[in-house]
Structure 1
């Protein structure tokens, strides 16, 4: 597993991957910007129009408390944009990964498994559906865990475990569905649940590192391509050694 992670990490910086890396970073930044603008607009509305509506409903005696609340919301708007972008990065990278799954997998398979049958590109609709589903589940789990953040950091532990399970699940199934039907990919994931969760912990650690986490779609997909090959019985070191022997 560590060897697979090292292979994935070294390959995402290779020249063939750089184009995908920059495009995935651009897509992730665009999604973060949309999220930040939406959150800022919501907070601004609560601090202005929302406060005016509340004062009209509650009466003039509520003016001072509402002014204090508006001030707090205004500060929260700035902090919320930053915190929200960091917190939802796993959901953002899930969506981005669904767009680049086949490009990343193709590069990994060509470099490390040249003697094996290449995978079949996933239909874009299927990949997007899986990415959207994982992103939605991530947001739902995070909203449920959010109240526990203030209980001795228990929420952050829940976030980390949930991220490991969700991202490990998504990336492995995307890698596996290039070689088998979706129901078989999901069954293989369930049969190897503990191994895939352990691999998901590595992806969760990667996505928790600021700035570096923009490369999560490449790292996660490349990593799980290796994991799927290993669980399928492939041995890349043997393949590489065999293909390096000259023909006599």
Structure 2
């Protein structure tokens, strides 16, 4: 699994991935900037304290809070983008790394949109819980990795599996290999936790989970 993760990360930086990577990073940054501006505007509108020093203090604390919130929003934003780039990335991995195998089939557009939106909402809910636990000593970091490890592992693996299996079969296959998928999700969560590097999360996770699905499928016969 470690070798698959290393290979997947290297592959994200190769020429076949470059165009997808640039689009993904540009859109992610753009969405985070818009979200940050919106939160800043909301904070400015909400602050109307009787003393100037209180306004300054609240603004500073609010700014720090916005940065923390944006850091936690990288997961949901990249999850939203994954649905738009995952099939292109998966196709590249299947074609270049597993040319002897039949290629996968992308989900129909309607089904893909449903999966993408659900993925983003579930990841957002999970990160809100993790953000709420940020103030609990000794729990905050663990919560981030456990929540994102489970959610990212589940959704990215199922997305890779659904290219080859019906939806329910893909989910059953993921549950059957739950430990391996969770560990792989933790690896993705580590990438998500590294500033700037986390912008490649959708492509890295897709390339990684395509490999994992191939390995588990081969082992299952």
- The TM-score normalised by the length of structure 1 is 0.83
State the Cα deviation string for residues 169-189 of structure 1 (Å, max 9, x = none): 111011011111111111111
| Offset, 1:69 | 4.8
Could you report, residue by residue, the CA deviation over 1:15-71 in whole angstroms, capped at 9, with x for unpaired residues?
1111111011011111111211121111111114xx5xxxxxxxxxxx45xx56533
The yes-or-no answer on 1:2 pairing with 2:6 is: no
SS at match of 2:106: coil
Partner of residue 59, structure 2: 74
Map of 1:141 onto structure 2: 126
The answer to whether the aligner puts 1:95 opposite 2:80 as a matched pair is: yes
1:197 corresponds to 2:176? no
1:38 aligns with: 38
1:157 aligns with 2:145: no
Aligned-partner Cα distance in 1 for 2:207–2:156? 9
1:112 offset after TM fit, Å? 1.1
Partners of 1:97 and 1:153 in 2: how far apart? 31
Distance 2:81 2:8 in 1: 17
The answer as to whether partners of 2:80 and 2:116 remain within 8 angstroms in 1 is yes
2:17 is matched with which residue? 17
Q: Which residues of structure 1 form unaligned runs of 5+?
A: 52-62, 235-248
Q: Who is 2:196 aligned against?
A: 211
Give the count of matched residue pairs. 220
Q: Is the 8 A contact 1:46 1:73 kept in 2?
A: no
Q: Is the 8 A contact 2:75 2:124 kept in 1?
A: no
3-state SS, counterpart of residue 102 of structure 2: coil
The structure number with the bigger radius of gyration is 1
Q: TM-score, normalised by structure 2?
A: 0.92
SS in structure 2 of the partner of residue 39 of structure 1: helix
Unpaired stretches in structure 2, ≥5 consecutive residues: none
Task: Establish whether residue 108 from structure 1 lines up as the match of residue 93 from structure 2.
Answer: yes
CA distance in 1, matches of 2:139, 2:172: 31
> Separation in 1 of the partners of 2:132 and 2:30?
28
Q: 1:145 to 1:107 in 2, by over 3 A?
A: closer
